Amino acid sequence: MSSLFPALTGASAGRPALRFGDRSLTYAELAAATGALAGRLAGHDRVAVWATPELETAVAVVAALEAGVAAVPLNPKSGEKELGHILNDSAPTLVLVAPGTELPSPVRDLELVEVDVHGTGSAPGSEAPADGPALVVYTSGTTGPPKGAVIPRRAVATTLDALADAWQWTDEDVLVHGLPLFHVHGLVLGVLGPLRRGGSVRHLGRFTTEGVARELNDGATMLFGVPTMYHRIAQDLPEQPESAKALGRARLLVSGSAALPVHDHERIAAATGRRVIERYGMTETLMNTSVRADGEARAGTVGVPLPGVELRLVEEDGTVVTAYDGETVGEIQVRGPNLFTEYLNRPDATAAAFTADGWFRTGDVAVRDPDGYVRIVGRMATDLIKSGGYKIGAGEIENALLEHPGVREAAVTGEPDADLGERIVAWIVPADPQSPPGGRELADHVARRLAPHKRPRVVRYLDALPRNDMGKIMKRALPS
């Protein structure tokens, strides 16, 4: 029996597992397809997955997990520089793709294996160890290229079981979402979650309010989204009374990856009669806290620690906060079986991420209400930007901008944005003040090298960047 996905070998054979557009697989079909592919993958160490929002991505990742092989999901929109870094760092031995996919260099140089979603076979019988790697997911830091968080099989299993407890998530649930499949939210929670429960997922390919409403009217019970998606739903509902009714029918509306503004919470509650609940997680920790299905859905909070997760708040001087007063602020530190094991090839970064007594430093700053509800109030690093639910490091974009011949100096900041949460702003000192590079050109430059979601949405030109006596850029002194 599969330890991560019991339903693959259980009594669920004829039940629907996955649906992407008009293509779907039952558990029996999924078991056959992943079994065949797992046989092909056995003996490999790490494989890449070209993570388009398609059936093939789900089959590829489940097959790798069944084979005990670590999967590295790749953003199909990543630019050459970002892909080059991830492939160099993770060194996959092959890449799994949907048939007919045109791959850009440098992925083209890998051995390519097309995923057959109608394949038949059975997975190798041996079980991989619980602390073995399941996924390597790349996540941005404040400076330098993204780091590969190695997520063990144990973390995937425990986080999904903790969420099942918090959300009363069962095999009766049908999840709808339109999240990308190369991050934890869309892949681990949004695909592996329903499959671990023996329930099903319907992926929209692309998020729209209408698509969500259609599925909720047709038997879906839960919705997962980032705040930008809920913001867009809140904007659409006044003109879409039918969508409001459909959302009102959902058993659970869950938001995460960034804070959902209270205004959007309230607009959705007013239009649908249902409250969105928030959960809080990170690539490195999977899920830490959540509002429980049977708890109070209080806007502006991320609920209580999940079963098995130890959470503490620590002040800047190292004092552990003991107060539950809704006021005393500290960094969230966590411990538990939900954590990653390391940043791949980065022992320095791994060591820096933990305290001496083994707590992971999240960098998120919070207070705790008297009943234990956690309220995130900020982030320690101003150089981390959350835009559309994506974590984006300012340093990475600055480096890309500095590679443009028209840029002499560059600084990147995040600015509040009603739709994206934060938007990326590039402050540029042009090489030639008479003909500065255009905003569109710089956005395309970053999108081509890194990824479209990392492109600056606003470009501002300066004669010089504000610097302190040591020559360090003072971002707080940039004109707002």
Taking CA atoms, 425 is separated from 29, 78, 335, 476, in Å, by: 47, 20, 35, 13
What amino acid is encoded at 126 in this protein? Answer: S
Q: Does 390 bind ligand MCA (CB under 6 A)?
A: yes
Q: Which is nearer to ligand MCA, 153 or 455 (CB)?
A: 455
Shortest Å distance, C-beta 255 to ligand AMP = 6
Q: Does 256 bind ligand AMP (CB under 6 A)?
A: yes
User: Binding ligand AMP by CB under 6 A: which of 379, 408, 457, 460?
Assistant: 379
Contact predicate 175/191, CB 8 Å: no
Q: Considering CB distances under 5 to 8 angstroms, the limit depending on partner class, which of ligand AMP, ligand MCA, none binds residue 455? A: ligand MCA
Q: Which stretch binds ligand AMP (CB under 6 A): 127-135, 172-180, 273-281, 459-467?
A: 273-281
Q: Which of residues 451-480 bind ligand MCA (CB under 6 A)?
A: 452-453, 455
Q: How many residues bind ligand MCA (CB under 6 A)?
A: 25
Instruction: Give the angle 5-7-10 at the CA atoms, nearest 5°.
Output: 130
Q: Which of 55, 42, 139, 34 is nearest to 94 (CA)?
A: 42
Residue 182 makes CB contacts below 8 A (sequence gap 6+) with 51, 73, 74, 75, 76, 137
Q: Which stretch binds ligand MCA (CB under 6 A): 184-192, 194-202, 240-248, 308-316?
A: 184-192
Q: How many residues bind ligand AMP (CB under 6 A)?
A: 18
Q: Count CA atoms within 13 Å of residue 406 on its CB side.
A: 13
CB atoms within 10 A of CB 238: 11
Q: Does 257 bind ligand AMP (CB under 6 A)?
A: yes
Contact predicate 368/319, CB 8 Å: no
User: Binding ligand MCA by CB under 6 A: which of 49, 61, 65, 184?
Assistant: 184
Q: Does 421 bind ligand MCA (CB under 6 A)?
A: no
3-state secondary structure of 287: strand
Q: Which two tokens stand for residue 127?
A: 């079980």
What are 66's strand-pairing partners?
none
User: Binding ligand MCA by CB under 6 A: which of 15, 44, 77, 292?
Assistant: 77
3-state secondary structure of 202: strand
Q: Does 283 bind ligand AMP (CB under 6 A)?
A: yes
Instruction: Look at the block and give the residue holding tokens 């009374």.
Output: 241
Q: Which stretch binds ligand AMP (CB under 6 A): 82-90, 111-119, 255-263, 408-416?
A: 255-263
**Can you give the binding site for ligand MCA, defined by CB under 6 A?**
77, 179-180, 183-186, 207, 226, 228-229, 256-257, 281-283, 388-390, 443-444, 447, 452-453, 455
